[in-house]
Amino acid sequence: VKAAREAALGAGGVIKLVTAGKLSERDLKRIMETSPKLILLAGGVDYGERETVVRNAEVLGNIDHEIPIVYAGNSAAADEVEEIISQKGRDVHIVDNVYPRIDELNVEPTREVIREVFSKNIVKGPGMEKIYSMINRPIVPTPAAVMLATELFSSFHGDVVAVDIGGATTDVDSVTDGDPKIASMLVSPEPRSKRTVEGDLGIYVNARHVVEHIGRDKLKIEFPHLDKIVSNLTPYPKDADDEAFSARLATYCFETSIRRHAGGLKQFFGPTGRIEVAYGKDLTAVRSVIGTGGILSRSRFASKIMESIRSLSAKHEKELLPRKEVSLFRDRDYILGAIGLISTVDSSSAADLAKASLEELVDI
């Protein structure tokens, strides 16, 4: 399940539902209620257990035939799965297993196919056919384009994290292999490129959720007219108080999203004594952090918000967070997604644009 999630998120997908094991009637009902644009079917290491994915293929073949299916499970069952689904008139795409062996992830082939399927099917949306005919190029979803830009940036600036704070969500993209010492302690593998989406962290649509996370009483000390500010919140700050409040929420979103994205260290006691293991994404080797989204691209508080990362690892020593020495960059022109899109046709020009547009922030 984890490998499939990593593949879907890295391709820019929005995950609506995750199931595990053999599909039940309740699972099918939930799938139909969700009305997905794509179904990713995975399961089993190569040449391992195959009964579950075969049965699930039989079940999925009976639901809405307009929904494309990508199979990224046990390769030994691929032919059978393809035959089962295609016999029922379904659009099925077979790709390498996302989890071919224990402790090994292989997410890039699945990400690429998901992007291709998205590009082919988005043309069915209102007005998209005309756009598609004009550009004659694959259409890349914005989250996937941001990931492409982050990967491009890493090619000349090393390991990197990009944080995109929006009104409803906060996305984090990282490109890093982590510290070799930490890698030897990991209990399960992580992809080099990883994306997470925090659906409760946003500075407008989800502002009230963030207020509750921080604590109303705590915020009222900083903002005595908190209730009035929250009640009259608009997408763009109306005055200095609104801007300061949005920056306070953004700081929480920035720090919390990175902490959720990162893994950590845990200690266990076994027959040989105490054992320390690592889990999740290791960000300790990250050397650069990019800030994007309206507030990190345009606000005068951008530096202050991002500088908060310098003290984060000291506050949370057991979390695999970037160190205080990281360089900070602001997506000054708010074009990180465009840079990623351009990189699909001209990586050199995209790199030049990134170097010109991503402004390094000096310490405050």
> What is the predicted pLDDT for the residue at 364?
47
- pLDDT, position 4: 84
Task: Read off the amino acid at residue 164.
Answer: D
CA-to-CA dists, residue 199 to 122, 158, 235, 254, 308, angstroms: 23, 28, 17, 13, 21
What domains appear along the chain, each with residue ranges and CATH number?
Answer: 2-135 (3.40.50.2300), 142-361 (3.30.420)
Helix (H) or strand (E) holding 66: none
Which residues have CB under 8 Å from 115's CB, separation 6+?
Answer: 11, 12, 138, 140, 141, 144
Cα torsion for 332, 204, 340, 71, to the nearest 10°?
170
Identify whether the C-beta of residue 169 lies closer than 8 Å to the C-beta of residue 121: no
Low pLDDT (below 50) residues in the chain: 364
Q: Is 263 helix (H, G, I), strand (E, B) or coil?
A: coil
Sheet holding 288-292, edge to edge: 193-198, 170-175, 160-165, 288-292, 327-331, 358-361
Q: What pLDDT is recorded for position 363?
A: 64
Cα 301 to its chain centre, rounded Å, is: 25
Enclosing H/E stretch for 120: helix 108-121
Per-residue burial over 118-149, b if 16 or more Cβ lie within 10 Å, else e, is bbebbeeeeeeeeebeeeeeebbbebbbbbbb
Query: Which residues does 142 contact at the CB level (< 8 Å), separation at least 6?
Result: 12, 337
Q: Quick one: tokens of 279? A: 């889990």
CA dihedral (105, 109, 113, 119) positive or negative: positive
